[in-house]
Structure formats: structure tokens, C-alpha cells
Amino acid sequence: MDSSLRNCLKLLHENDSEIKKNALHVLWELCENIIKNPQEPRYRRIRVANPVIAEKLLPANGAVECLFEIGFQEDGEFFSLPTDSPLPRIREIQRLLREIQTQKPISSPQPAAPAVKSTGARPKDPPVPNFLQQIENMFDSVLEYEDQDLQEMTRHMVPITDLKLRAMKRMRALQRDLKQREETEGETEKEKTGIENDMGIEDLLLGELMAWFKNDFFTWFTTIKCSSCSTNCKYNRTEFQRRSNVSRIEIYKCESCETEEEFPRYTNPRMVLANRKGRCGEWATCFTLICRAFSYDARLVHDKTDHVWTEVWSVAGNRWIHADPCENTLDRPLLYEKGWKKKLSYIIAYSRDEIQDVTWRYTRDQPSVMKRRNLCTEEDLAEFLWRLNEKRQSNPGYSQVRKKYVVNRRLMELAEFLRLPGQPDNDDNEYGGRISGDAAWRSARGEISDENKSHIWKIPEGINSYLLRLYLVKDYYEIQDEEGKLFEKLEGWREGTAKAKGLFRNVENDWQMVYVCRSPGVDLGSITWSFEICDKSEEFQIECFKISSTTALFHGASIKWKIQGITQQNKTITITLDNSKPMSTSALKDAKRINIIADLSGGSGDAYWQHAQLFRHSLDDIDECSLSISFELSQN
């Protein structure tokens, strides 16, 4: 047995029993499928985002390394086994995997130690499980952000004066909007909602800092150019080497001249700052460093299902704010569970002061998450984190006043996480899929949004009137006939659209408003409703078409409507509208299919994406119709 395989098997054997059992079973089954079906492609290609890989192999120390020993290679989206991989070696590894279940830990031969007489001394503490050891290592590593020379160098790289001016301009715009709303609605927003706006200038500066970081400073890494011929290289493999400040090295190979190029995955913030490119790990590392350089209380947040971001303490809001620089997204913690459809398990936050399990900020499905938290007991994890915090805060020189503040803040945060059994989820916001990374990579990870659902409303033959209404507050459609009888109901505004791109339903709990607007950073959002007349005789005609909707526009934003009627002969009748006033027309008489399209654009400032608002309502307006589309029909 070669030394690399021996080390992998030794690491596997040292995992907790349940983790080891799961990993061994998966690895053995992979070997078995390959041996029995050596030419079957599906057994030689495994998606990295496969739940079995994420939940049973990744938690086990040595499991992924064992995959590489079998012969698998990682290409960013998949683990792939070349067709020329020797079957005898796979059979031998399978045999060793089976033996591990009953063997003692595999180790290199050691000289016999002399017998030692027992002294009755307390035995050493048991070894820390791999998962907990990783937590401790990361908690130690975040102290690198506190290097004063590194912070000074970081500050020189940020145009902080310009960003502060933008934040002040945004603050004045928000104050103007608040004043206008108070004058229009006759009462202050504080009186109406019972709460005050908790956004301070430092929070607005944080938003400007993140937008600059995303758009002007850091780069998402996809591939690398060949140093010899400048051709884009293709991912070839990953090498795990014991190099300081590097977690692993991705090897890319030029398809033209076969030159190999390295992309080290740096973990050291100084190296990441110099390199200014990477994926989520590097993005979060660099952004957290920048936040610390400008005295934000910031912490690195690591999601066990493979994502990393930042949290920043808001003094004005007296709470931690989720901040994802990859997505340029602030304070949307349910993005991953609801938008990316991630199966969350452990989310740990690391700062200079403390370590905190923050999983419960990012989920509304606690029972399912608890089933996936199987790397250690909840009691062991809580005790382990407590011991690490006590050790950090008991260091010589650590302020006891600071410790009291941090402990009180931690208790407030834990209280924030408490949810009563059966408590409803009051977050009605919609969350799109991931935007960072190319589409193929996001799709392979299962983190891309599904905007391709298409619904066509069928107008049945033989009726005289057809009325569709959308109620956005309750979020459903209903269809009525000429007698006002309800004969169809559909839940969810998006479910009734033929196409909805770059839009989401935004619920403003502070302003008590709801509307459909563009997703953050989207310049043009579009929505289409389609209707089809089910007329076999071709004599069914539209005598009158009517449409009305509620909208709101701010700061130069625009909503443009287009009505398309398509005849049986595929001729198109187009009517354009530049506003959302009620419209009635008989120009669609011969149409058999009607598309209603609304394009949202414009606005100003960093919040431009929400300045064009479809179907804006107060959350109290539960019976208000948001969109009304009607057809008066006749038969010749």
C-alpha cells in the first residue's frame, strides 16, 4: 500500500463512527458500481453538488482524498473518473474500505514503547473531532484581519471619501422620501408602523462599500489564460498540498499547447487582497478585511454546505446584518434557503471576539436542518463554542468591559433566534437564484433560479366574459365568468406568468408595503402574461379588451406596457402604453393569443432597482385588486 493511500484510509478511520460509516458505504458503493459496470458513464461522473457527496463524503476527513486515490478528478462541477483508470487498484481500495470497519486505525509502523506504570494521573482529553477542529482552526485564522499594517494598506486601496459622499447623498434622498410620504399620507411612518427607520449612515456606507467592491474592485474567477499562447485553459484537476496560506491548488490545462497553469486558493487575507480575484471564499475574506479596516465589527460566516459571506454589526439597528459581497446583497438572510434552495446544516460566524452558531438566522425550516446536523451532538457543539469564546476573551489584555458587551450582545442574538413551535414564517419576500459565477457552474450546484416556468391562461369556448384579477397582498389570481362566478384560482403571482425575468415580490415590513420590482442590480425587468382562446370553430372573437393596474414610479423610473395580439394567420397586432392608466380597445378582435408585457427600468441611486413598482399596496389592503384583465367575447 502506498503512503498516500495509507494516509487517506487512516484519516477515514479516525472520523466519528456515524460519519465514518456513511463515508465508507458511499465509497464502497462507488467502487462496486465501477467494477460491475466499467463502461457505464453515469458511474464515472458525480456532480459535486450531489446531496450524497455534500452530506456523507464532505463531512468525513479523508473521504474526498480517497476519491482521488480511486482515480476521480475534480473539474469544478463534477468528480470524473477517466476510462483508463485501472480496475485492479479500485478492487484493492474497495477491499481495504471493507476491512476498515473492523480494523484498528491504520498507522505507519512504530517502534514499541516501553511500558509505563500508571500514576493515577487524569488521562488526556480525547482528540477533537475533525469538524470541531476545523471550527477551531478557522477561529484562530480570523485574527489575521487584525494586523494593523495590513489594515492600513487596505485603507489606501479604498476610495472611502467618494463612498462617504455617495452614502450622504443616499441618506438625503431617503430623508426626502420619508418627508414626502408623511406629507402625502397625513401621518408619520413611525406613527403608522409603530417603528422607526433603523438605518444609519454607517449602514448606508456599508452598502456603498459593497457595491464598489462588487463592481469595481474584486473579480470572480472562472478560468485562466495560458501564459504561452493566451488561450483560455480548461480545468484539469485539484492538488492538495501542504502550502502555507493555500487550501488547495486548481490546475488548468491549455487545450492548444497543453501548458499547465496554477490557481492557488488562498486563505490568507493579505494574499487575497493582492490577488483580487477568486470565488466566494476569497470574496468574503477580502470584504471582511475591508470592513475591519474601516472599524466595522465584522465577522466571517462559513456555511458548511459550501458558501462564505460576511456579517456586520449595525449600531443603528442594534443587530447583525447579513452581507454577501458576491451577490451585492445586504440583509437578506433567507436568500440561500429560499432562493438557492440550499439544504443548510451548520452556519458558523467567526470574529476577533467570539464564535457563534448563526444557523437559525438563515432558515425557517428548523426540523429539516436539525436532521442534517449530525456531525456532533448539539450539546457538544454548544460547549465547544463556549470554551473557545472563554479562552479568547480570557487572554491577557482583553478588555473585561469589551467582554461584558460581547456577552450581552451574544445573548440578545440567541434570543433573536428563538422561534415558537409552529410559528408561521412571516417573510413573504421572494428570493432569486445565485448571480455570481457563470450559468453552467451555478446550474451544476443547483443554485440557479427557475425563471423558465410558463403559464398560459386558457379562455374556454362558449363564454361571453372572462375576467382575471391579481391580488398581490394575498398573492393569488382568480378568474370569473360573466355572472361573477369564480371558476379558477391560482396561488402565487409568478405562477400565473408566461415569463418573469429579474423581478421579485418585495415586502417592506418597515413601511408596511408590498409590490413587484426588479431584483437588486437588475437594469431591466420584464413580466409577461399570456392568454389563449380555445376556439375550434375560429368564430370566437374579442369584442373588447380591458386592462388596469396599480403602479408607483419614483426618481425617473419607468414601466412600459405592450399588448400583443396574434391572429390565426400569425399576424401580430401591437399596442404600446407608456403608463398604467386603465385601457380599453377593440383592436384585438381577430387575435387568438394575447401577450401582455410590462418592462420595468430606470430609477436613480443605489436603490434604482426598486423605483419602478408594479402593484404597490399597503399590507392592510388585503381586498384591493392589483391587476385586472378582462375580455368581452362573441361568436359570429
> Would you name the residues annotated as active-site residues?
280, 307, 324
Cβ neighbors of 313 (< 8 A, separation 6 or more) are 296, 297, 298, 319, 320, 321, 409
Nearest-10 crossing angle of helices 63-70, 17-36: 20
Closest CA to 289 of 325, 321, 249, 336: 325
Distance between CA atoms of residues 332 and 507, nearest Å: 12
Helix (H) / strand (E) containing 467:
strand 465-471
Alpha helices for 14-129 (secondary structure H): 17-36, 51-52, 63-70, 87-100
- What is d(CA 493, CA 474) in angstroms, rounded to the nearest whole number? 10
Length in residues, the chain: 636
Other CB atoms within a 10 A radius of the CB of residue 198 amount to: 13
Instruction: Give the distance from CA 33 to its chain's centroid.
Output: 34
CA max distance for the chain: 107
Q: Which residue has the cell 514503547?
A: 113
Cell numbers describing residue 540: 370566437
Residues of the chain by 3-state class (helix, strand, coil), percent to 5: 35, 25, 40
Q: Tell me the one-letter amino acid at 467.
A: L
Query: Which sign, positive or negative, has the C-alpha torsion 145, 146, 150, 152?
Result: positive
**Tally of CB atoms within 10 A around 318:** 10
What is the Cβ-side half-sphere exposure of residue 504, based on CA atoms within 13 angstroms?
20
Give the integer Cα–Cα distance in Å for 556 and 608.
Answer: 9
Rounded (5°) CA angle 75-80-85: 130
Residue 212: phi and psi, rounded to 5, are -65, -45
Question: Nearest 5 degrees, angle CA 534-CA 536-CA 541?
Answer: 65
Q: Give the Cα separation of 470 and 479 in Å (integer).
A: 9
Count Cβ atoms below 10 Å from residue 460 Cβ, excluding itself. 15
Q: Which residues contact 395 (CB under 8 A, 6 or more apart)?
A: none
Can you say whether residue 92 is alpha, beta or left, with left for phi > 0 and alpha for psi between -120 and 50 degrees? alpha
Residue 90 CA from chain centroid, whole number: 37
